A and B are shown apart, each in its own frame.
Chain A
């Protein structure tokens, strides 16, 4: 019986990659999932390499601005990981996860801006004859921060901005609570598929439009700026700070990867992939599908928030345009190009596409002269990205990550057609076509 030989080879084959599974296998987590170990090792090597080549800690072969670009890319990889978990594994095409990313950025940005302005205000008031009262300091900070939108008082949302621990808690809680409430409302009404995607787009659009208003309390379209300057460390050069953030981002990405790999490796991963493939069937197995979706949606929103909190201090500025619907669509495109349903695919997609995007839109890409027309990549990059997305969707649904299957010979026929012969294990229609 041909099934026997396939069974044996596939049981070996299954042991690699992070497609997970709860089939009996023993040993420590990392040994059972070699791809996780490889990823962590590569990430550590990368971080070490950049550090050695950096201006702050090494030989100076990489400029500080490029170190920041790499650090930001790691954060984008982390949010892509979250997107892969919610879309690639659980099948929820959320087109609003960059809203959670932005909220994380705003939460940390408020403290950064408050604390740095406080130092400046205290310094300038120190010259006065009488020591300034707390109220005077507070008013001074408010005038500094909100002068640009014509206000001079702290809006209620800034109540905790003076406290780093509270704002760090907000990085996790604000995106988490928003996702919990939004997800609860959407999932319990059984909103799925394209309708859910549209709803998440509406959420991110509404949030972005709200933040654009001057009286939103977050400085309207000016956003929060000067975030690259760490309060109290004003004399620390950016070349050093950038490496700190690179390390922090790499650490967060590594921890996020471990967490996601652990989540998808066990029965939970099995259930959410089952929800992706046939939600109704999972319900009849007795699993509360909505609770699982809500859990995944919320956890990924928190991961996105943490990624945003690490990203924006490296970017230096956050404004409501960052939460525009298109940002979340880009996120989905990265994951699709990288290969959804596999964690390393999301990381590869986010790193590859965002770095390429930086190169094309930074004006470094050489123009292409067609004789009758000159292609300026700054203008044409989005078109190229769109075309690649269409091409990947049509011709390589497994994305860049699918190449790993070819190398590892993990590829096996899609046996979805009808039996061609009467025997068990006979060729299927699709196989015979190949």
Chain B
């Protein structure tokens, strides 16, 4: 498998605190990867760097076939290049309907003029309905997103990410606040998504990660502590010490 994202030697510090310390990390095309680590390990900062929200002090982030550097691109350019991000808390546009939320996320020209003259085609509408079906929100298509339950908002956000058709999907704690049944559905959705694109899941919950059945990267104090299968990393002495032990 070819490499889609390559993070090498990246460091960031905030007021002297090293949030990310010489971190190197690779994800291949259509790979499902879990990133775990205790609080303050730098998981969110790691995502911020890839999506352009935070600029690292040093290091490289290369992405795609040509290995373009993400560090010189704005957030919106990175998103257009195919990097989608799901935040920890569901962030959907509560004032707008589920259909509008999905329509906005559909992969179409993002420039102001194109958007101003955009009128949804039959294919766009069909795609929105298909996505709503996939995330189980068909009955709520014309409800305002703010009226949805917490779990439904999480679904909607995942639907919006799928609508973006990203090549690399970054998912921050998808299972937080979900019922066991919803978690199971989420696991299936993520696995399904990873068939056609790379998915990086940042998660706290070890059981959830186990069900993903994928390679796991353990972060600690801003760098990679261990990498391998879930059984491999849970047997690692250092991992037990910083994360599982107590």
Contacts and interface: CB of A to CB of B under 8 A. Distances in A.
Task: Count chain A CB atoms within 10 A of each CB in B96, B146, B152 and give the residue with the most.
Answer: B96
Interface residues of A, number: 45
A314 B179 CA distance: 65
Contacts of A295: 112, 116
B95 A3 contact: no
Interface residues of B, number: 48
B95 A273 contact: yes
Contacts of A277: 93-95
Contacts of B77: 286, 288
Interface stretch (A19-27, A48-56, A350-358, A391-399): A19-27
A284 B84 CA distance: 7
B80 A286 contact: yes
B164 A285 contact: yes
Interface string A1-44: 10110110011001000000111100000000000000000000
Contacts of B151: 424
A6 B100 contact: no
Contacts of A424: 149, 151-152
A10 B143 contact: yes
Contacts of A270: 93, 96, 100, 103-104
Contacts of A271: 104, 115
Given A21-B100, A23-B142, A281-B87, A291 B112 contact: yes
B104 A267 contact: yes
Contact of A285 (B79, B96, B100, B143): B79
Given A3-B140, A4-B139, A274-B104, A426 B91 contact: no
A371 to B, nearest CB: 49
Contacts of A22: 99-100, 103-104, 118, 120
Contact of B75 (A14, A268, A284, A415): A284
Contacts of A422: 179
Task: Count chain A CB atoms within 10 A of each CB in B84, B97, B99 and give the residue with the most.
Answer: B97
Contacts of B79: 283-286
Interface string B128-148: 100000000001111110111
Nearest to A416: B146
A283 B75 contact: yes
A273 B112 contact: no
A367 interface: no
B2 to A, nearest CB: 23
Interface in B34-53: 51, 53
B160 interface: yes
A273 B146 contact: no
Given A271-B104, A416-B146, 5 more contacts: A7-B139, A10-B144, A277-B93, A281-B87, A295-B116
Interface of A: 1, 3-4, 6-7, 10-11, 14, 21-24, 263, 266-268, 270-271, 273-274, 277-278, 280-281, 283-289, 291-292, 295, 412-416, 418-419, 422, 424-426
Interface of B: 51, 53, 74-77, 79-80, 84-85, 87, 91, 93-97, 99-100, 103-105, 110-112, 115-116, 118-120, 125, 128, 139-144, 146-152, 160, 164, 179
6 contacts: A3-B140, A21-B100, A268-B115, A274-B93, A285-B79, A288-B76
